[in-house]
Amino acid sequence: MTNTFLNTINYSIDKFCNSLGFNKTYFHQFLNCSEKQAPKFLNPNDDFKQLKVIDLISILDNLDTKHRKIILDNLCKKYDFVCLDSATTENNNISLEHILLSITSTNGELSSNFLQALEDGNISLDENKLLNEIAYKFRSLLRIFEFKINGVSND
């Protein structure tokens, strides 16, 4: 596992625990470690330990959807997939018009940021990161749109 992925897991656990007023050692009860070992076990900079798949599943099982999605988004981005919440794709309260407006808005944001990045003839690392984030959001919205139109009946 790369340090970036371990940092993402650590970030998600920290933010989740902070939102509940807990210390991240709270997660020791879901992992194969003691409360005293938890800080070292969850340390993304510890090169001597490898997170086991079963540990990752335990972490994901015990996070809320928002913080679970941070980790899954990281994995999906790495392998060029888009992670969608099942609740988002099944939500019938979102109209097709709303989805299309969001797609149009994001596409405009992507275009304007791309043109701005090209002004100096060089796309910096920060500009590249921003463009990738917007493009990912754009792909996500397109997938939501596809799910939505596939669920619309022609009756």
pLDDT tens digits, 116-143:
888 888 889 999 888 888 888 888 888 8
pLDDT at 54: 84
Query: What pTM did the predictor assign?
Result: 0.51
In this structure, what are the phi and psi dihedrals at residue 36, rounded to the nearest 5 degrees? -70, -35
Could you write out the DSSP letters of every residue in 101-138? HHHHHHHHHHHHHHHHHHTTT---HHHHHHHHHHHHHH
What ranges do the domains of the chain cover? 3-78, 86-151
Amino acid at position 137, single letter: K
CA distance 73 to 89: 16
CA distance 11 to 44: 10
Residue among 155, 153, 150, 154 at smallest CA distance from 99: 150
CA distance 61 to 31: 11
List pLDDT tens digits, range 64-113: 888 888 889 888 888 878 777 655 544 456 777 787 888 888 888 888 88
List pLDDT tens digits, range 44-62: 777 666 678 788 888 899 9
